[in-house]
């Protein structure tokens, strides 16, 4: 796979020197946020990483190569129609085709690990979808967290998901769910879900120490959950009501698979008059900042 990597010189130098690097996904640009919010947020996330003393590495597939680090022109290409949404199963086929692809959590983790990046910051992970007992719709993110040794910073799982079942699945995969300054699993747009995390950590150094020991034991990934900033957080009951309505619309339209999450997020954003979009951008930037702090702590250790 190393033959398929193309690492920006700044990132390659930082990795060679043992300096902190934070991976960022690209599906937030291609599929997660509307234009121009997507490009503005991607740039703000990279700046938050830099402000935290680390080097940002946004990851995508372009021109038959896994790109570790993107230019502004590269990010703009991801806003064009037809960019594939890449999970673990899609990487090889997209590389072979030469088509552009934006990496989800699972694909970003794989590429980051191959490049030697240990910390990844995103918005919310995928999980067990509501009604999965019938549809078997369970995100590949959960399996990847169990087997790929990367620490993922997120605001929990997306609130459109079945959060109790998502936690159960993470436990089955052996993934430590750490709360960054919180005892409760964040619910993406909301600060608390009412569900407990496995352990609370109150500093980047503590999170880094746990991650380092976890990897010394030969184990996989960790999930570090950072709640959405208070000034952007939304009441959980409101988000649940908007999500239930969006799920009903998705069922009526026959929407399934990869199309479900972007559809639900779009409908919920409309129902909230854009408040969920503001929360989403705020938590993405906040998680990039935490990712930089943890990467810096790991570098010091």
Residues annotated catalytic, as ranges: 25, 158
Residue 139 marked ligand-binding: yes
| 105 annotated ligand binder | yes
| Annotated binding-site residue? 260 | no
d(CA 206, CA 179): 11
Distance CA 180, CA 263 (A): 29
Nearest to 145 by CA among 179, 175, 183: 175
- Whether 85 has a binding-site annotation, put simply, is yes
- Pairing between β-strand 84-86 and β-strand 101-103 as defined by DSSP bridges: parallel
Q: Which helix (H) or strand (E) holds 248?
A: helix 236-253
CA dihedral 194, 199, 200, 206 (to 10 degrees): -160
- Are the beta carbons of 108 and 67 closer than 8 angstroms? no
The reply, when asked if residue 256 is annotated as ligand binding, is no
Question: What is the rounded distance in angstroms from the CA atom of residue 129 to the CA atom of residue 113?
Answer: 26
Contacts of 108 (CB under 8 A, 6+ apart): 23, 24, 25, 26, 59, 120, 122
Give the closest residue to 26 by CA, choosing from 39, 7, 13, 10: 39
Q: Is 137 annotated as a binding residue?
A: yes
The helix/strand/coil state of 98 is coil
Q: Which residues are annotated as a binding site for substrate?
A: 85, 105, 139-141
Q: Which residues are annotated as a binding site for Mn(2+)?
A: 137
Q: Which residues are annotated as a binding site?
A: 85, 105, 137, 139-141
């Amino acid at each position: 796979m190393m033959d398929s990597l193309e690492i920006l010189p700044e990132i390659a130098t930082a990795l060679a020197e043992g300096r902190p690097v934070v991976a960022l996904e690209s599906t937030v640009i291609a599929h997660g946020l509307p234009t121009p919010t997507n490009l503005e947020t991607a740039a703000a996330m990279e700046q938050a990483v830099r402000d935290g003393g680390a080097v940002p590495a946004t990851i995508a597939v372009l021109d038959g190569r896994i790109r570790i680090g993107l230019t502004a022109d590269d990010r703009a290409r991801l806003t064009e129609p037809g960019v594939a949404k890449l999970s673990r199963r899609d990487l090889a086929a997209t590389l072979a085709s030469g088509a552009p692809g934006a990496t989800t959590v699972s694909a970003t983790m794989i590429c980051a690990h191959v490049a030697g990046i240990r910390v990844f910051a995103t918005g919310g992970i995928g999980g067990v979808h509501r009604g999965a007992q019938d549809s078997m719709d369970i995100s590949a993110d959960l399996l990847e967290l169990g087997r790929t040794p990367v620490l993922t910073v997120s605001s929990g799982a997306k609130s459109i998901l079945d959060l109790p079942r998502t936690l159960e699945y993470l436990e089955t995969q052996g993934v430590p769910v750490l709360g960054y300054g919180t005892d409760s699993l964040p619910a993406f747009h909301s600060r608390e879900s009412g569900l407990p995390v496995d352990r609370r950590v109150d500093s980047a150094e503590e999170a880094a120490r746990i991650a380092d020991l976890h990897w010394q034991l030969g184990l996989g990934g960790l999930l570090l959950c950072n709640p959405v900033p208070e000034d952007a957080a939304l009441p959980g009951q409101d988000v649940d009501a908007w999500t239930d309505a969006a799920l009903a619309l998705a069922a009526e339209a026959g929407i399934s698979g990869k199309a479900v999450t972007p559809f639900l997020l779009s409908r919920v954003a409309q129902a909230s008059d854009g408040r969920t979009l503001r929360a989403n951008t705020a938590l993405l930037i906040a998680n990039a900042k935490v990712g930089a702090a943890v990467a810096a702590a790991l570098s010091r250790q």
